Amino acid sequence: MSLAGSEGLGQEGLGQSLWPEELQRELSTGLVQGAAQLGVTLSELQVDQLTRYLHMMAQWGRVYNLTAILEPQAMLTHHVLDSLSVVPHLDAHLNSAPSPHIIDVGSGAGLPGVVLAVARPHWHITCVDAVAKKAAFVQQVAATLGLANLTGVHSRAEALRLKADVVASRAFASLVDFVACTGHLLKPSGVWLAMKGQEPRGEIEALPSDTEVFHVEPLTVPALQAERCLVWMRQLKQLQPI
């Protein structure tokens, strides 16, 4: 599916300034500094790709209801840096796996999936959303930014037939609903990764007995005055009767 009117969007070459020069400089500087605080090094190309992604979200956001936040600096903090904060934690978990597959469920505008795909080109990212125009937006982002490792899929999570090393979500659903509709997507050694605000103790307590929360990590997002955490989960192996 293509988005109506997309012919005029995202056609500028990489490296061209999309925002007014001063704003482009502020966004690029804020991105580089914020990434450095998170321990993530970005190349000039990756900075360019992420600022272009911000610009595409700003262009399409209001028309296609991609995000309620459309002010550039706020999008940088609340969307890009928030998503980028997960990268070091995924690095540690994946432990230099050559080409892991990550499924971002309920991805919306591609958060965190697009940011992960830019930051780690060797990761294969599938962004899944039940809204066709949001999945099409991610496909357009992949084409515009030259991200061969990124795919947007229009589907409900329950209907998806893929397997992943990590199934991730950001503000998608309760933990109970998240694991219930995505358990079939995990590889045997796969894990769930849920991005949350405050530690969701009630949701954790409500999880079924075959789901283990093996780690809850606090996140600190530069310039974002809000609590963030990661909830890591896995399926417990069921003992077979003798």
Q: Where are the beta strands (DSSP E) in 94-133?
A: 101-105, 124-129
236 contacts 200 by C-beta, under 8 angstroms: no
Q: What is the pLDDT of residue 171?
A: 81
- Average model confidence (pLDDT) for the chain? 91
What distance in Å separates the CA atoms of residue 147 and residue 111, rounded to the nearest whole number? 15
Extents of the domains making up the chain: 83-235
Q: What is the pLDDT of residue 9?
A: 44
Condensed to tens digits (0 to 9), the pLDDT of residues 78-134 reads: 999 999 999 999 999 998 788 999 999 999 999 999 999 999 999 999 999 999 999
pTM value is 0.91
Q: Please check whether the domain covering 83-235 is classified as CATH 3.40.630.30.
A: no
